[in-house]
Structure 1
Amino acid sequence: MPDPARLGDLQLAILRALWSRGEATAAEVHADLHAERGLAPTTIATMLRRLASQGFASFRNEGRVFVYRAAIDEESVQRAAVRDLHERLFAGDAEALVHQLLDARELSASELEGLRALIDARAQSAEAESGARPRRTRRD
């Protein structure tokens, strides 16, 4: 399977339709995306076949119609995209990534509180892990 972080906008839009519906035909995905994107039904069908051939979707034959389902979950795609962004754009600097996230738009108090809770939980987990491992000492 290719890197999910490299999925294009249309591929992601199609996967979102599949995640939302659970499974769908090309016609159903087209109906979901037509108003927003104005694409031909054949374009959607082609993209679904490509997603399936790359391992991002699967399908079953129901009579004369293919019914598609996402073969990768949304969280895995998000995680891969953030990991790619972290490495490629921020050269592995997590603090810079979070700084830009915080500066990119106004966050509500509840969003900030949620982020603070996530960071606090991660810090406690890291402290517990480092405290549980015995420190190795060097013997001369």
Structure 2
Amino acid sequence: MSNNNIKPTEGEMEILQVLWQNGVATVREVHEALNKKDSGYTTTLKLMQIMHEKGLVERDTNQKTHIYKALVSQDKTEKQLVNKMIDNVFNGSAARLVMQALGNHSASADEIEEIKKYLDSLK
């Protein structure tokens, strides 16, 4: 199955975030990084096995402990999810998404400066 248009679930996105940050990780390392009190190790293992079947991660089985690595890029995945959200939630308006995001989360002075530079580059 091609992973070009796979939309990861919320749980899969949490695992991908750990893999993107670490490069590679075992199920145990991912589970500990997620620090989920309400789900067990076997839940993380099952989810990562499903992600492997979907083509979201690859699994190196050369060692006793399997090592996982993300097969989808963080940038491409984020773009797909944002585009889907803009279409489905904000009626196709990127401006509404940005205003909602900035209105609900306080951005640091550095982040605001970065956003201003980005907006200036679009003019």
TM-score bucket of the superposed structures, by smaller chain? 0.7 to 0.9
Deviation sequence 1:94-130 (CA, Å, 0-9, x none) = 222222122223333332221111011122xxxxxxx
TM value normalised by structure 1: 0.75
Aligned residue identity for 1:61: T
Aligned residue identity for 1:10: G
Give 3-state SS (helix, strand or coil) of 2:58's partner.
strand
Q: Is the 8 A contact 1:30 1:39 kept in 2?
A: no
Q: Is the 8 A contact 1:90 1:96 kept in 2?
A: yes
Match status 1:50 vs 2:50: yes
CA distance in 2, matches of 1:113, 1:32: 31
What's the counterpart of residue 110 of structure 1?
A: 110
Q: Which runs of 5+ in 1 are unaligned?
A: 124-140
What's the counterpart of residue 94 of structure 1?
A: 94
Q: How many positions carry a matched residue from both structures? A: 121
What's the counterpart of residue 20 of structure 1?
A: 21
> What are the residue-to-residue correspondences of 1:1-140 with 2, within 5 Å?
1=3, 3-4=5-6, 6-33=7-34, 35-123=35-123
- Deviating runs (4+, > 4 A) in structure 1? none
Greater Rg over alpha carbons, structure: 1
Aligned residue identity for 1:47: L
TM value normalised by structure 2: 0.84
Give 3-state SS (helix, strand or coil) of 2:68's partner.
strand
Compared with structure 1, are the counterparts of its residues 47 and 104 closer, same or farther at alpha carbon in structure 2 (3 Å cutoff)? Answer: same
Q: Which runs of 5+ in 2 are unaligned?
A: none
Give 3-state SS (helix, strand or coil) of 1:65's partner.
coil
Give 3-state SS (helix, strand or coil) of 1:68's partner.
strand
Of the structure 1 ranges 15-24 and 101-110, higher mean CA displacement relative to structure 2 is found in 101-110
